[in-house]
Chains A and B, each alone.
Chain A
Amino acid sequence: MRYLLPAFVAFFFIIEGTWFQVFFPPSTEQDLFWVPRFAFVTVILISIYRGSKSGIFYGMGLGLFQDIVYSTVIGIYTFSYALIGYMTGFNFRAVQSRPFVVLVIVMVAVASLESLIYLMYTWTGIAQVTFEEFAATRLLPSVVLNGAFGILLIFPLRKFFVMLEDRDRQQENV
């Protein structure tokens, strides 16, 4: 049980670069960039349900892998995943029990992630597009795609978190 959560994140991280790219390959007819951030959405949900400490921990780990495996510049994803993972740690009952609020947080997190990455890539000279173009071709599709993924993931993951909490409580009692 303990390793199931990191395994989830790792699974979605692998999916982003492999299955997603094989079954939904980018093409020249497509002007929109559908960027999967499935592992990141999972981290945000972990942060909401398990607290911002878990968020920063998972965010940093995932970001480090993202940086090293897929890119050459290290630090960009490590920093942004950890920062946003920390800031989305709204672990109050009032938020956790309202799936719609959770979804809004996830979508805002994805939007701020894309913008942060865009800013940093612009500073380092890797990205050379205007903000309007970025917003239309990358930001919007990304929020839509990952929001949809969030809807699919919120309910099963919430059940899983409730189960985890029950187990923790039982262990404390014993």
Chain B
Amino acid sequence: MPHFFSNKRLILLMVGIIILVILVGLTMREREQATIPEQIMRDSVGVVQSVFQRPAYFVRDIYDDFVNILNVHEENERLKGQLNDYAMLRSEIEGLREENDSLTSLYEGMESLSSFDTIPALVIDRQPDRWTETIGINRGTQHGIETDMAVITEEGLIGRVQYTSAFTSQVQLLSDGERTNRVSAKVSSEEGDPAVGFIEGWDVDQDLLVLQKVDSENELEPGQFVSTSGLGGLFPADLPIGEIVDVQVDEYGLTQNAYIEPSADFFHLNHVLVIERNVDNIDGIQEEFLQQEDEEIVEEEDESEGSDD
């Protein structure tokens, strides 16, 4: 052991701690964008990571295929059962689609809150220390990725883009415990308006997502599906999140919390889709709404003036 507590080294340690505190303080808060040197480092490491990751996924896929073959009989039985429901579901969907088309054609130029394009990406790393839950993907600003875009797999929403650099980005998963990590979500029910709340945090003991701040007037029950509401302005609507398994009244009794089994698997991620919301259309819709409201107000004023005379 070197002579650690000599004066010179003690001063160096102090200077080190001070620099640490300053650096941590500067980088702690939610930053808009990582600095250029950080981006360059991430991109160059990202290239190496993709080189490592592709063969790893290849081997992993072979292994998974092997396991799948062993389960094929069981799965076949299950799928046959599901196939019976399929015909009914299909006819129902046809009907709904027609109805939807006719309704949207009535409302000309309207793109729904759920319209979006997707950018496929490969997962190149995962935070190994697991204090924060983030993954890296091999698509960046050069491919059209921006901060706060939603990231999904085929099964459902997994997170949002936290930082971007030219060729890679960092994605914060829903399971990350950071306080600012929240998503506006809704619980669809058969009658009435959907209940709206926020996905905030991850219950470590049960491995479930927590949906908070749902009005206690809404009746929630296990088995209901939860999806994004599209109200937060960041994510499109109707991206599946999961299924309710437990409902509890929160500590003040005014709102309720629901525990959600996520539909996406946060642990076996290799290909993800980044969602590019059609922002122009959304702005268009808002303007349209505002104009309509203005017109209505003007009409009402006209009427009231008319009645005065």
A and B pair up: yes
Q: Does A23 contact B (CB under 8 A)?
A: yes
Cα(A78)–Cα(B27), bound, Å:
13
The CA of A20 and the CA of B128, in the complex, are separated in Å by 8
Decide: A128 near B177, CB < 8 A? Known: A17-B127, A28-B207. yes
Tell me the complex Cα distance, A37–B13, Å: 24
Q: Cα distance A98–B48 when bound, in Å?
A: 36
Q: A-facing mask of B173-199, CB < 8 A → 1, else 0? A: 000011100000000000000000000
CB contact list, A110-136 vs B, under 8 A: 117, 120-121, 124-129
Shortest A90–chain B CB gap in Å is 6
Q: How far is A45 from B126 in the complex, measured between Cα atoms in Å?
A: 25
Q: How many A-B residue pairs have CB under 8 A?
A: 119
Q: Which residues of A have CB within 8 Å of B56?
A: 18-19, 22-23
- Whether B2 lies near A79 (C-beta < 8 A) is no
Task: Enumerate chain A interface residues (CB-CB to B < 8 A).
Answer: 10, 14-23, 25-28, 33, 35-36, 52, 65, 68-76, 78-79, 82-83, 86-87, 89-90, 117, 120-121, 124-129
* B residues 150-183 in Cβ contact with A at 8 Å: 162-163, 170, 177-179
Known pairs A14-B48, A15-B52, A90-B1; A73 contacts B28 (CB<8 A): yes
Contact between chains at A121 and B131 (CB < 8 Å): yes
Query: A-contacting residues of B (Cβ < 8 Å)?
Result: 1-2, 4, 13, 16-17, 19-24, 26-28, 31, 34, 38, 41-42, 45, 48-49, 52-53, 56-57, 59-60, 124-132, 134, 136, 162-163, 170, 177-179, 204, 207, 267-268, 270
B23 touches A65 (CB 8 A): no
Nearest-neighbour CB distance to chain A for B43, whole angstroms, equals: 10
A-B contact pairs, 12 of them (CB 8 A): A10-B48, A18-B53, A18-B125, A21-B126, A23-B60, A25-B267, A70-B125, A72-B34, A72-B170, A75-B24, A83-B13, A117-B129
User: Is the beta-carbon distance between B52 and A19 smaller than 8 angstroms?
Assistant: yes
A22-B270, A65-B41, A70-B134 provided; 9 other pairs, C-beta below 8 A? A14-B49, A19-B56, A23-B56, A28-B267, A36-B128, A71-B132, A72-B163, A75-B27, A76-B24
Whether B4 and A87, one on each chain, are in contact in the complex, defined by CB atoms closer than 8 angstroms, is yes
Q: Are A79 and B16 in contact (CB under 8 A)?
A: yes
Q: With A28-B267, A68-B42 as known contacts, state yes or no: A75 contacts B20, CB within 8 Å.
A: yes
Which single member of B38, B170, B267 contacts A27 (CB below 8 Å)? B267
Q: What's the Cα separation between A20 and B207 when bound, in Å?
A: 21
Q: With A23-B56, A65-B45, A68-B41 in contact, do A33 and B125 touch (Cβ < 8 Å)?
A: no
Point out the residues of chain A lying under 8 angstroms from B41, CB to CB: 65, 68-69
A79 touching B126 in the complex, CB below 8 Å, given contacts A90-B1, A128-B177: no
For the complex formed, measure the closest distance between the CB of B295 and the CB atoms of chain A, giving whole angstroms.
47
Q: Is A35 in contact with B20, judged by CB distance below 8 angstroms?
A: no
Q: For the complex formed, measure the closest distance between the CB of A105 and the CB atoms of chain B, giving whole angstroms.
A: 10
**In the complex, which of the residues A18, A68, A124 has the most CB atoms of chain B within 10 Å of its own CB atom?**
A18
Known: A26-B130, A87-B1, A117-B131. A72 touches B27 (CB 8 A): yes
> What is the chain A residue whose CB lies nearest that of B56?
A22
A33 x B38 contact (CB < 8 A): no
Q: Which residue of B lies closest to A17 (CB)?
A: B125
Shortest distance from the beta carbon of B124 to any chain A beta carbon, whole Å: 7
Chain A residues whose C-beta falls within 8 Å of the C-beta of B57 in the assembled complex:
22
Q: How far is the CB of A151 from chain B (nearest CB, A)?
A: 20
Contact B178 A21 (CB under 8 A): no
- In the complex, what residues of B have CB within 8 A of residue A76's CB? 20, 24
Q: Assess A17 versus B24: contact at CB under 8 Å? Given A23-B56, A68-B38.
A: no
Cβ of A68: which chain B residues have Cβ within 8 Å of it?
38, 41-42
**B54: nearest residue on chain A (CB-CB)?**
A18
Bound: A17/B22 CA distance, A: 27
A-side contacts of B163, CB under 8 Å: 72
B178 adjacent to A126 (CB under 8 Å): yes
- 4 closest pairs, A vs B, by CB? A75-B23, A17-B125, A21-B126, A28-B207
Cross-chain contact A75 with B38 (CB below 8 angstroms): no
Set of chain B residues within 8 Å of A75, measured between Cβ atoms: 19-24, 27
Please name all residues of chain B whose beta carbon is closer than 8 Å to the beta carbon of A35 when the two chains form the complex. 128-130
Q: Whole-angstrom distance from the CB of B207 to the nearest CB of chain A?
A: 4
CB-defined contacts of B59 to chain A, threshold 8 Å: 23
A117 contacts across to B, CB distance below 8 A: 129, 131
B20 touches A79 (CB 8 A): yes
State whether B130 touches A74 (Cβ < 8 A): no
Contacts of B26 in A (CB 8 A): 74
